[in-house]
Structure 1
Amino acid sequence: MGGPFSAARAAGLSLIRDAETEHIIRELSRPIFSTAGLDPDFVRILLVRDSDINAFVAGGQNMFINTGTLLKVKRPAQLEGVIAHETGHISGGHLARGEEELRNASIQQIIATVLGAAAGMAAGGGSGVMSGISAGQQFAQRNFLTYRRTQESAADQAGASFLERIGVTGEGLVEFLSGLGDQEALSGRLQDPYVRTHPLSRDRVAALQERVEQSPYYKAEDAKWKVDALLRMQAKLYAFLEQPERALARFPDSDSSVPARYGRAVAYYRVPDLVRATAEVDSLLRDFPTDPYFWELKGQMLYENGRIAESIEPHRRSVELAPNEPLLTVNLAMSLAATGDPAALDEAIRILTAANRLDPTNPSAWYTLSSAYGQKNEIGLAAWAAAERYVLTGDLRGARIQALRAQQLLPVGSPGSLRAEDILAFAERRDER
């Protein structure tokens, strides 16, 4: 199901989609983007399921953050510092090299390109490998790393300025980088990717430290809502990503905090122990009846345990409480479509069409729309929606097959037929590369 937590897999990589996590990061990043002169609605943050610490920008205004980074930051200011630093790369125009190529690539291709470059840098750091590299290649690599270090320092300074303008301490960024500093001495294979793609140095950290100490907000406290949001997000991520028994050990029954109760609810759901999971989430809903993400989790639990009809109301409630979160809308549509009821299918198609206008990049939404059209025997529209999904997952062969099918079945000049034509043209351009 598309939520509350799902992953789109491609080429051995996973992109995490979770409405709550994305909402929290948007709330933290929006003021940073705005003060940097960027439109927050056009900067896309994507979550990569990877336990390593890393974050990078690529392919235009796409910012990628590993789940390992989200789990390992100690305070909101550290995460804000990472976001501000990466924003410095965007605003500083550090992405010009190969930008057009990356802009036209799929998100999965962008990740593979950037992580592949990081792996290459790590391999190049070993003396055995370096001995086999030509002098010209070594010179080029040194120049590249010098160029990157200059960019990193510039992004540090820009990020510190952005944080100061919005009244946030830059101390978090210093803490984050200082925590990674010891990895400089490690073999590239042992380093977190962040160190490999963001060259560190003592001088760089010292210059950043000097800059942020001048800010009137240097010792500013993290806002309580940010602390609470980070702890909730981390508990949820940990419970979904780690083995349930590890999560239950981390969040024992003796811990009555909201993050611990949330983590236990997720862990029990994954055991699966629906009785205990439902008891935990119901206790949260009694205390927080207007929290859309607790309602979302309850709907998810019921849906994935085959209680489709019962899952509709919790999902509907989550959408009512957060109507501008398209991932929540997709959850509701999935429950509706799974009933097979004609009226429910019509509602699913209607709300999925609206959700795809807000976020056209969710493969699960297009899959569900294709399924709903198929159940209504509207095969041409089902093929068009399937083609959209295949484009997003990087399966150009599947996209081409479904787009041709849609063209054959849909009226010439109809929206679906025209979009199928666009998909075929896109696939042809990709083949020519």
Structure 2
Amino acid sequence: MFKSVLALVLTLVLCLPARAQSQSISLIRDTEIETTIRAYATPVFLAAGLDPSSVRIYLVNDRQINAFVAGGQNLFINTGLLVQSENAGQVIGVIAHETGHIAGGHLIRVQEAQKRGTAESILAFVLGTAAAAAGRPDVGAAVMSGGQNIALRNYLQYSRTQEGSADAAAMKFLDETHQSAQGLLDFMQILSNQELLAPARQDPYLRTHPLSQDRIEALADFVAKSPYSKVPVSPALERQHQRMVAKLRAFLDEPGMTMRRYPESDQSDEALYARAIAAHRAADSKKSIVLIDQLLAHHPDDPYYYELKGQVLFESGHPLEAVGPYTTAVRLLPDAPLLRLDLARCQLATNDPKMLPSAIENLQVSLAIEPNRPFVWRQLAIATGRNGQEAESSLALAEEAMLLNKPAEAKFHAGQAEHLLPTGSPNWLKAQDIIAAVDQAREE
């Protein structure tokens, strides 16, 4: 399910001034889009000698073209870059370039950052956005003041030497994966057209990644010589790209704009997809379901169409009807934590006690994959509480409180769980661990 992480101040964000409330960063979680970006990035990460599972990718809801790494192996990509990209090759090229920065350690400059007083700003940004992604799927935040935005931009400002090094690494990674660097060259040429604009009107990517004619010429020379420059991006990845762009536009733009961009005369899958989303956002759930069913008639094993159908039904006030489509989506993608969560939410919303065991199982699977999500622990507490599992409910509330940095509350709930659980059981030991962690933190 496509979810925007709304702007809301979290206690995890470090003591920001009052003016921070005027600017914010919001993240987007979506299984399909995250899977697409992972498909682009994984070969590049492997070529760079990185463990793909160790690189965290965040989608930033911002219309400006930007992508950057921060806090080590954290890759941030703006929706504006994805929507304005002309093809998958351009996005892959940008990911390869940013991977060059990660592999080169270009942002491991802690001592330098501390001298400038910017380490706190970076920490607030990285922890804040990570907290937003890990918390409720529909609520979370990382709020930065105007001053901190400047500090962040200065911290992320690469030197021309580092940019050249990242370009060289990107070329190497793309060649090793038998992919063309033409997309990266095209992206650089698009940015070069902005150089004559006033800095305030330039996309952030250009301001933090200084561009030079030498870089473009070096990249063009490489493209002219590489044996893989004419290799097209796989049709499967291009189809994923078109769907991703259509989905982002449909969720982020006004429904009327989406309908004009994807008119009724366009019967392509991405156009039907976009119109289905736009119809739902315009509160026309019947039309949305008709369009989704049209897609499913041609693609009966597509988990994301079932996911969208479940979302439309659930958000239209029909949780019982939504259970079926979400169940099919989970069957097709059993290891997708967001889908497991969404199915569990529908099951809980039916208020049918018979669905509680399945809801609990889905929430447990989701947490096994993404354990640092307070909202999911809260849902598990609700589900187990309704199912008469008081000890397990208290333990889930303790886990939630720990993630929200509420030690007193965490210790209270863990104490309740410890009292109710069999001594020596795995959950009893977890409760003791939480109590010990709180006590140790207080001593420090």
| 2:178–2:228 CA contact under 8 A, matched in 1 | yes
- TM-score by length of structure 2 reads 0.82
| 2:7–2:143 CA contact under 8 A, matched in 1 | no
- TM-score by length of structure 1 reads 0.84
Cα deviation for residue 218 of structure 1 reads 1.3
Mean CA deviation greater in 35-44 or 92-101 = 92-101
Alpha-carbon displacement from aligned partner over 1:72-129 (angstroms, at most 9, x marks no partner): 110111000011011111111112112998689625279767996663487x9xxxxx
Residues 1:228 and 2:242 aligned together: no
1:274 alignment counterpart: 285
Cα distance in 1 between the residues matched to 2:208 and 2:432 = 41
SS at match of 1:184: coil
Residues 1:402 and 2:409 aligned together: yes
Cα distance in 2 between the residues matched to 1:318 and 1:401 = 39
| 1:7–1:14 CA contact under 8 A, matched in 2 | yes
Mean CA deviation greater in 411-420 or 334-343 = 411-420
| 1:118–1:193 CA contact under 8 A, matched in 2 | no
Alpha-carbon displacement from aligned partner over 1:132-182 (angstroms, at most 9, x marks no partner): xxxxxxxxx9xx96x622111111110111011111110111111211123
Residues 1:94 and 2:106 aligned together: yes
2:3 alignment counterpart: 5
Number of matched residues? 404
Kindly report the root-mean-square deviation, in angstroms, between the aligned alpha carbons of the 2 structures: 3.0
Residues 1:82 and 2:94 aligned together: yes
Output aligned runs, 1:314-329, within 5 Å.
314-329=325-340
Cα deviation for residue 426 of structure 1 reads 9.7
Unpaired runs of 5+ in structure 2?
10-23, 112-118, 132-141
1:173 alignment counterpart: 184
Residues 1:44 and 2:48 aligned together: no
2:82 to 52, 70, 77: 70
Unpaired runs of 5+ in structure 1?
125-140
Mean CA deviation greater in 299-308 or 367-376 = 367-376
Residue 400 and residue 320 in structure 1: after superposition, are their counterparts in 2 closer, same or farther (change >3 A)? same
| 2:380–2:393 CA contact under 8 A, matched in 1 | yes
SS at match of 1:64: strand
1:411 alignment counterpart: 418
Cα distance in 2 between the residues matched to 1:89 and 1:117 = 22
2:273 alignment counterpart: 262
Output aligned runs, 1:322-361, within 5 Å.
322-361=333-372
The letter for the 2-side match of 1:400 is P
Residue 426 and residue 168 in structure 1: after superposition, are their counterparts in 2 closer, same or farther (change >3 A)? farther
Residue 273 and residue 44 in structure 1: after superposition, are their counterparts in 2 closer, same or farther (change >3 A)? same
Cα distance in 2 between the residues matched to 1:8 and 1:381 = 30
Cα distance in 2 between the residues matched to 1:426 and 1:237 = 45
Cα distance in 2 between the residues matched to 1:55 and 1:98 = 21
SS at match of 1:60: coil
SS at match of 1:47: strand
Cα deviation for residue 356 of structure 1 reads 1.0
Mean CA deviation greater in 296-305 or 403-412 = 403-412
Residue 255 and residue 422 in structure 1: after superposition, are their counterparts in 2 closer, same or farther (change >3 A)? farther
Cα deviation for residue 33 of structure 1 reads 0.8
Output aligned runs, 1:28-427, within 5 Å.
28-98=40-110, 106-108=127-129, 119-120=150-151, 148-376=159-387, 378=389, 381-382=392-393, 384-386=395-397, 388-389=399-400, 395-396=404-405, 399-411=406-418, 414-418=428-432, 420-421=434-435, 424=438
SS at match of 2:28: strand
Residue 155 and residue 52 in structure 1: after superposition, are their counterparts in 2 closer, same or farther (change >3 A)? same
SS at match of 1:16: strand
| 2:398–2:414 CA contact under 8 A, matched in 1 | no
Residue 163 and residue 202 in structure 1: after superposition, are their counterparts in 2 closer, same or farther (change >3 A)? same
Residue 53 and residue 421 in structure 1: after superposition, are their counterparts in 2 closer, same or farther (change >3 A)? farther
| 1:383–1:403 CA contact under 8 A, matched in 2 | no
| 2:93–2:181 CA contact under 8 A, matched in 1 | yes
| 2:307–2:326 CA contact under 8 A, matched in 1 | yes
Cα distance in 2 between the residues matched to 1:372 and 1:91 = 43
Cα distance in 2 between the residues matched to 1:391 and 1:154 = 41
| 1:340–1:375 CA contact under 8 A, matched in 2 | no
The letter for the 2-side match of 1:218 is S
Cα deviation for residue 206 of structure 1 reads 1.8
2:138 alignment counterpart: none
| 1:8–1:363 CA contact under 8 A, matched in 2 | no
Cα distance in 1 between the residues matched to 2:146 and 2:103 = 22
| 1:164–1:215 CA contact under 8 A, matched in 2 | yes
